[in-house]
Amino acid sequence: MQSTVNIKASGRRLEEAKGINDIYVVPVNDVFVTKAWKEKLGPKSGVRFLANDKGAFTFVLGLLFDASPKLGGPRAKRYAFVVDSNKVTHVLVEASPPDIKETTADNVLSKL
């Protein structure tokens, strides 16, 4: 799973980077899938998960897309926010769902 690999890399980079307090993942999925994903990463990953089962949070951000034909319902675009002192300083969004270019750990860290 590309997402798991990218999040694991982000978690490892969290340990290396100074000034990063938290990494949050907000999947559009039920609590059971979210829990399984979190367990796959391991308890020491440093990554926090927020269940967004109906996609309401992601919808408000304008980052929800219809993945019904392949995944059975709406899903989140792949995105990353850089937040400094409670202010969003960078919004990185992938152009296409399978892409991982803008949201790599290295690219996100370059925005700090």
Residues 84-98: tens digit of each pLDDT: 999 999 999 999 877
The CATH fold of domain 2-76: Glutaredoxin (3.40.30)
DSSP 8-state code for residue 29: S
Task: Name the residue type at position 96.
Answer: S
Predicted pLDDT of residue 2: 43
Which pTM was predicted? 0.77
Antiparallel, parallel or unpaired: β 74-76 and 64-66: antiparallel
Q: Any idea where the domains of the chain sit in the sequence?
A: 2-76
| CA distance linking residue 107 with residue 32, whole number of Å | 30
Q: What is the pLDDT of residues 28-39, one digit of tens each?
A: 888 888 888 888
| CA distance linking residue 93 with residue 105, whole number of Å | 13
